A and B are shown apart, each in its own frame.
Chain A
Amino acid sequence: MKESSNHITRSESIERQLWRRKVRRTRAFQTLTIASPILLLVVWEILSRTAMIDPRFFPPPTTIIVEFFHLAATGQLFHHVGISLYRILGGFLMGVIPAIIIGLLMGMYLPVRYTLQPLVMALMPIPTLALMPIIIIVFGINDLSKMITIAGSVFFPVLINTVAGVTNIDHIYVDIAKNYGAKSKDYFFKIALPGALPMMMEGIQMGQAIALLTIVAAEMIGANSGIGYLIWTKYKTFVLKDMYVGLVLISFFGYLFSLLLRALQRKLIPWQK
């Protein structure tokens, strides 16, 4: 009796040790995740301050931070950020919404798919940025032309993922819908849309990154405001510290949008573990 209870305490202490080791390991990994970017910044700072890399091209991160507050204080920065976010959001929605609708239709209806598939395949490789001159001629140098450029780049990844999402829905759910008498409207909203949602969200996540890439380039070509414009003019006037502020902002918003979309994903797809 005594022996067996001893045995149990011994097993318990062994398990507790193993568990502690596991916790320690997880903590170590978390530290690595936080430490790696900080380490990079520290190395950059040191190399730049000791002039081992040219501080004119790679100003120390601390001076970039100071410059950020300096620019923010003038109010200039908010103007550029605001206008860029407006264009991104507008362009993003203009790309995503039609992509989802057309994607669902292509996934559900074979005639639509076979008609549009070749067009999609032929148009997809054309970079929308290369079409910017045409877009500007047609729509003018304004926010709309930038939104359309973004919409064009966001459209395809979302479309393709939506089509794949619908066509990959397990056939048994189609059978269930048919057997229980789902009409096409119900099929659209109850089966095709939610069934395609997980892949669709991956496409939207990709589209979000592409929207940021596109806005910077689009604002470099034909704009007098926005983060891309800021980066471009500061580069041309060789105020590289300010240029870096623009780059860091883009990186920050990319990260922020990813987090927001992940949160949205968890909200919209509660059935996925």
Chain B
Amino acid sequence: MTESKIKVDHLTKVFFKKNSSVTAIRDICLDIKEGEFVCLLGPSGCGKTTLLRILAELETPSTGSYHITPGKAGKPLQSMIFQEQGVIPWMTVQNNVSFGLRMRHASKKELNERTEYYLNKVGLWEFRHLYPSEISGGMKQRVSIARAFANDPEILLMDEPFAALDEQNKFILQEELLNIWEETHKTVVFITHSIDEALLLSDRIFLMSAQPGTILREKKIDLPRPRSIELVRSNPQMGKEFVDIWQHLQETVQQHRDKAL
């Protein structure tokens, strides 16, 4: 747990449009260790998604750089779990899960094994021949999760994967995610605006400010794993952490508002 997996070095992204520019993130530096579960927590519009999209190679940084330590040859560097609607409607559940493996032309054996394993893992084996339009929102997010894990990347990037789900489904999926993650302990960067979610999942939380998005503070969450929602909820220390983070976020939102006025 000491080796550095993701290094982000003074990363800045400016969006330029019609002579006006918006600094989405400014001067972000991160050092995330192998096997760490990290949450980026901040108000909406604070550039969390921009940072994740840069790591996912969907966006290029304006200045600064990042490095993800590669693993075995042939293994993908990163896979992203998108927000809702992240499953491809014209592929069956099974073909969605195996998408990454098919795109990188994994061997038939590996493809079948990994797809079957993760379909079972998220409880969708019986539903493998259905199309996304025939399954519920929670099941779709399970497909997204299975697809990312089946692809076996070095790191996982998750962009508010549970934001669109109802509360019960969210709790269930958070625990399922933790269960699957415990098996592999892959390095995860997880974006959320939910303090509860961050406390439940993370080893470390980075608190972000809005416009420009910068990292204000980091917090270590030392709860033992495996964790459960009951455990986190009933832990008085976590209650204090919640209030602390909440006050901090409130302050930054307030400051931002004052600046705007």
Interface residues of chain A, those whose CB is within 8 Å of chain B, are: 170, 172-173, 175-183, 186, 190-191, 194-195, 197, 269-273
Given contacts A270-B131, A271-B133, A273-B133, contact A176 B104 (CB under 8 A): no
Count, A-B residue pairs, CB within 8 A: 55
Tell me if B82 and A175 are in contact (CB < 8 A): yes
Which of B85-93, B191-199, B227-235, B252-260 lies on the face that meets chain A? Answer: B85-93
Interface flag for B167 (CB, 8 Å): no
Tell me if A170 and B85 are in contact (CB < 8 A): yes
Q: How large is the interface on B (under 10, 10 to 19, 20 to 34, 35 or more residues)?
A: 20 to 34
List of 6 A-B pairs having minimum Cβ-Cβ separation, nearest first = A271-B131, A194-B90, A180-B100, A179-B80, A181-B103, A182-B103
Closest to B90 in A: A194
Bound state CA distance, A183 and B86, in angstroms?
A: 19
Interface flag for B37 (CB, 8 Å): no
Q: Which of A181, A191, A194 has the most CB of B within 10 A?
A: A181
Closest to B78 in A: A179
- Besides A176-B99, A183-B103, A191-B88, 14 more A-B contacts (Cβ < 8 Å) are A170-B85, A176-B80, A178-B57, A179-B79, A180-B76, A180-B103, A181-B103, A186-B103, A190-B91, A190-B99, A271-B89, A271-B133, A272-B133, A273-B134
List, in ascending order, chain B residues with CB within 8 A of A181's CB: 76, 100, 103-104
Tell me if A179 and B58 are in contact (CB < 8 A): yes
Contact of A180 among B89, B131, B151 (CB under 8 A): B151
List, in ascending order, chain A residues with CB within 8 A of B88's CB: 173, 176, 191
List, in ascending order, chain B residues with CB within 8 A of A194's CB: 90
Task: Please report which residues of chain B, range 96-116, place their CB below 8 angstroms from some CB of chain A when the two chains form the complex.
Answer: 99-100, 102-104
Bound state CA distance, A194 and B86, in angstroms?
A: 16
